[in-house]
Amino acid sequence: MNHDVAEVLAELDAHRARFEAFCRSLSEEQLARPVPRSTWEVKDFISHLATIDEPITEMFRFSHTGVRGNSAPLADVDTWNETQVQERRTWSVDRIFAGATEQRAELRAALSELTAEDIAKPMKFGGDSKRGSSEFPLALFIRGWNKHDPMHAMDMVRALPEVVTPELEAWFDHPVIANYQAAMDQD
């Protein structure tokens, strides 16, 4: 396995373990709170992170093989995310994480196959409601994307000020996370 990919996987696994423990520590009341500056509830961020691995897995597979899988690239990531979140609104955290575990295994397999040549290739980010489209090396994307769990845990704590600890603050203390939060705070 490519050394850079192995490092990303190790960090990704650590973030997911920490994210899942954080989410499972929350009460039903906390999970149902609306998140300021968002249309989502706290639990919706869990659903987002449980489902976004599917199109990311396809992107990794395409980067490695050059062949599109069963799903087309996302034309509108915001609409796709909203659909996934709404479908899971009544699901338990256990059910959401069960699906996330299965999808993460597929993502890990696809990511593990990436070579140095694959991650040097440019990837196209189609943009979302807050960020325009752009192109950059896949290696740069995976180094930032592997912080997706703490990025959204930080979103979640906007509705949960009572759970903030020095350990959580340290987990959130990274330039990639700060840049993401700054982009999301723009109107």
Per-residue model confidence as pLDDT tens digits over 106-145 = 999 999 999 999 999 988 766 666 667 778 889 999 999 9
Tens-place pLDDT, residues 63-107: 898 877 655 455 677 888 999 999 999 999 999 999 999 999 999
Report the pLDDT value the prediction gives residue 50, as an integer from 0 to 100: 96
- Euclidean distance between the first and final Cα of the chain, in Å? 41
Report the pLDDT value the prediction gives residue 178, as an integer from 0 to 100: 93
Average pLDDT, the chain: 91
Give the confidence band of 186 by pLDDT, cuts at 50, 70, 90.
confident
- Which structural domain, as residue segments, surrounds residue 77? 3-184
Report the pLDDT value the prediction gives residue 107, as an integer from 0 to 100: 96
Measured distance CA(81)–CA(60) in Å, rounded: 19
Q: What percent of the chain has pLDDT over 90?
A: 72
Tell me: pLDDT of 176 over 70. Answer: yes
Tell me: pLDDT of 35 over 90. Answer: yes
For 133, list phi and psi in degrees, rounded to 5: -70, 155
Side-chain-side CA neighbours of 112 within 13 Å: the count stands at: 8
Q: Are 133 and 127 in contact (CB under 8 A)?
A: yes
Report the pLDDT value the prediction gives residue 133, as an integer from 0 to 100: 73
- Number of domains the chain contains: 1
Q: Are 185 and 35 in contact (CB under 8 A)?
A: no
CATH of the domain at 23: 1.20.120.450
Report the pLDDT value the prediction gives residue 187, as an integer from 0 to 100: 60
Give the confidence band of 180 by pLDDT, cuts at 50, 70, 90.
confident
> Average pLDDT, stretch 34-53?
96
